[in-house]
């Protein structure tokens, strides 16, 4: 294989769940009375940590207040998504394929630990990942490269030897800035939007091209 490390974003990549996050954010926006619609969510929310988002919305609030807002919003999301959750198409088979190739696999996400646990444990995916970097482990959220730099470092690899799967524009910028190869996953953005940042685009992990990386 061309790459030694494979790094997956979570929301929109491991699971195609943005509809449920958007619904939860819309409920949150109604309660706290700030403007939000599908365009704002798509263009400015995807890929960012909760702390970054809550400070964007409410100003310079404390870490504790960010956590309180985060727990509230993610509880709504988990309630909405739990009965519908499933791995993205072809993901499990692809992870099995990667494990058989003895490559290293990481999860690099802006999501809080409670959502990482919710996703990986309910879908029995945790054992696939050698490294997990979530939003609590970075000081700077995407599009800063820190999350993918940390993933590569924890895998014991140079970023140039890793490929990143990302659906958000901020995430694609993050992976590119880290020096990784990047693959766009067309779940939250169209191919045309993704092409600004990346040449190779997939819709799911059943596509033959992913087995050539």
pLDDT of residue 1: 84
| Whether residue 170 sits in one domain with residue 94 | yes
| Whether residue 154 sits in one domain with residue 57 | no
| Whether residue 93 sits in one domain with residue 132 | yes
Number of structural domains the chain divides into: 2
pLDDT of residue 48: 85
| Whether residue 62 sits in one domain with residue 116 | no
Q: What Å distances lie between residue 186 and 72, 153, 168, 190, 204, CA to CA? A: 28, 27, 9, 6, 8
Coil, strand or helix at 105: strand
User: What does the alpha-carbon distance between residue 213 and residue 210 come to, in Å, rounded to a whole number?
Assistant: 6
Give the CATH number, domain containing residue 193. 3.40.50.1000
Q: What is the mean pLDDT of residues 62-78?
A: 95
Burial readout 108-131 (b: 16 or more C-beta within 10 A, e: otherwise): bbbbbebbbebbbeeeebeebbbb
pLDDT of residue 128: 98
Q: Note whether 13 and 167 are within 8 A (CB).
A: yes
Q: pLDDT digits over 4-36, tens only?
A: 999 999 999 999 999 999 999 999 999 999 999
E strand spans, the chain: 5-8, 104-108, 131-133, 162-166, 181-185, 201-202
| Final residue of a structural domain among 56, 81, 106 | 81
Q: What Å distances lie between residue 86 and 9, 119, 125, CA to CA? A: 15, 9, 11
pLDDT of residue 199: 83
| Whether residue 92 sits in one domain with residue 58 | no
Give the CATH number, domain containing residue 77. 1.10.150
| Whether residue 22 sits in one domain with residue 114 | no
| Whether residue 153 sits in one domain with residue 109 | yes
Contacts of 131 (CB under 8 A, 6+ apart): 104, 105, 106, 107, 151, 154, 155
| Whether residue 187 sits in one domain with residue 105 | yes
Q: What is the pTM of this model?
A: 0.91
| Whether residue 92 sits in one domain with residue 28 | no
Domain limits for position 138: 5-16+86-212
| Final residue of a structural domain among 62, 81, 100 | 81
What percent of the chain clears pLDDT 70, i.e. is strictly above it?
100
């Amino acid at each position: 294989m061309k790459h030694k490390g494979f790094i997956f974003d979570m929301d929109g990549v491991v699971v195609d769940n943005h509809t449920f996050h958007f619904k939860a954010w819309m409920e949150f926006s109604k309660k706290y009375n700030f403007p939000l619609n599908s365009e704002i969510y798509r263009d400015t929310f995807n890929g960012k940590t909760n702390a970054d988002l809550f400070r964007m919305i409410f100003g310079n609030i404390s870490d504790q207040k960010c956590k309180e807002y985060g727990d509230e919003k993610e509880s709504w999301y988990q309630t909405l998504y739990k009965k519908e959750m499933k791995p993205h198409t072809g993901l499990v088979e692809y992870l099995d394929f990667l494990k058989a190739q003895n490559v290293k696999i990481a999860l690099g996400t802006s999501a809080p630990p409670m959502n990482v646990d919710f996703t990986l444990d309910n879908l029995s995916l945790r054992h696939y990942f050698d490294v997990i970097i979530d939003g609590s482990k970075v000081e700077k959220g995407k599009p800063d490269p820190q999350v993918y730099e940390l993933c590569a470092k924890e895998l014991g690899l140079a970023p140039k030897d890793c490929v990143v799967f990302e659906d958000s524009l901020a995430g694609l910028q993050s992976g590119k800035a880290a020096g990784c190869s990047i693959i766009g996953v067309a779940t939250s953005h169209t191919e045309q939007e993704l092409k600004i940042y990346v040449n190779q685009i997939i819709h799911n992990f059943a596509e033959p091209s992913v087995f050539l990386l």
